[in-house]
Amino acid sequence: MKLSGKKYTGNRFISAYEVLVWMLYVGIYKYSMLVETNWLPRTRGYFPFPQLILYAFFLTLYIVPYYRVIGPWFLRKRWHWQLVLVSILYFIFVPKFTNWACTWLFAHGSTGEPLLSYYQRRLHWFTMGLHNRMLMLEDLLTDILAFLSVMFMRYAFENEQKRHALEKDNLQLQLQTLKAQLHPHFLFNTLNSIYGMSLTGAPETPDFILRLSDMMRYVLYDCSTHQVSLDKDLQFVSNYLEMEKKRYPQANIQFEIAAEGAGHKMIAPLLVIPFLENSFKHGAHRITDNGFIKGLLQLTDNQLELTLSNNVLFTALPNQKQYGGVGIENVQKRLTLYYPHRYTLHINSTDSLYAVHLKIQL
């Protein structure tokens, strides 16, 4: 799910739910309650009184400031007891005056029978009700239940939206941290390798300098967005592999990239590289000639699949860091954020082998 550049889908859902409440509850239920009164005749020439639908909507407008402004404001402040007190005062006094004012308008704006008599009788009833402490408690209760559901659902979706935005910002900061960690660790080692190549006069030295330049440009500029071209991301992986192969020429490194049509796909940046970096950082190839790193990164239709394994020299040091660490945890969170229910990640870690199998539905 891409959050940037798109309106959060929960806003559309809650708007549709709010419209549905107004249509079903106010337009049908409250209208039926108004029609069922004994003050209206059931003769063929009058029923079904479509004007009463409009009247039902006007009678319910009093609750809009409450569930749209007042209630959400107290909820955001987390003033729950204050909200209860304000709600009691609001529903005791506000509906009385708004019902009276709305009925007065309809009584003076209607000229035909029997609605004129109907509005006049209701106006008299509301006028008498202004002197009472409670008015139509049963009708108010249904209004409260219907629109409190809208208010609390809107509040819940707003909190979820804020949580997603906060998680996105947090993961973006983690991505920046990951890039900052990648810079010195990888840059210094690569520069040392290129320096050694230049001392021996290796003819491929300019090529590796160009590869390093492309990689730094990708990390600094292209990775500043939430989505990058899959072709560029895979080119970064390819350059990284070539650099590491140069650092460990005796190691058994077999990694294949098969991604035809990657130029037309988009992906969140730097999802694959933490797994590769861990393989080169913790793999046994650094110490023994028997070390290996084997992997396959392939694109099939819209699915990107990574298979990676390497052997590990296990040493039970007291302060030894967990294999993978923050980098892998960051990738898992970003996968959950950008590809919910569209990826699978299996990591098998033993004392001698570390294997990763990742599938992403782009």
Q: What pLDDT digit, counting tens, does each position of 156-197 carry? A: 888 877 777 777 777 666 666 655 555 565 567 677 777 777
Question: pTM for this one?
Answer: 0.53
Give the pLDDT confidence score for residue 138 in this predicted structure: 64
Return the percent helix, strand and coil in the chain, to nearest 5. 65, 15, 25
Cα–Cα distance, 23 to 27 (Å, whole number): 5
Give me the pLDDT at residue 297, please.
Answer: 93
Beta strands 266-267 and 228-229, pairing class: antiparallel
Residue 141 is predicted with a pLDDT of: 84
The range of the structural domain enclosing residue 211 comes to: 203-361
Question: Same domain for 43 and 143?
Answer: yes
130, 160, 190 - which closes a domain? 160
Tell me how many domains the chain contains.
2
Q: Tell me, what's the pLDDT at 185?
A: 57
What SS3 state is found at 218?
helix
Residue 239 lies inside a defined structural domain of this protein: yes
Structural tokens at position 335? 């996968």
Q: Are residues 352 and 255 in the same domain?
A: yes
pLDDT per 10-residue tile (average), the chain, 362 residues = 43 83 87 75 61 88 91 89 90 86 85 78 75 58 87 85 74 63 61 76 82 82 82 90 81 87 85 84 69 89 91 56 60 82 90 90 90
Q: Is 236 a domain residue?
A: yes
Instruction: Report the alpha-carbon distance of residue 168 to residue 160 in Å, rounded.
Output: 12
Query: For residue 218, what is the domain's CATH number?
Result: 3.30.565.10
| pLDDT score recorded for residue 172 | 67
Average per-residue pLDDT for the chain: 79
Q: In the listed set 131, 160, 189, which residue is the last one of a domain according to the structure?
A: 160
Look at residue 10 in the predicted model and tell me its pLDDT. 59
pLDDT at 18: 87
Query: Which residue, 160, 189, 216, sits at the end of a domain?
Result: 160
Residues 85 and 211 grouped into a single domain:
no
Q: Are residues 261 and 154 in the same domain?
A: no
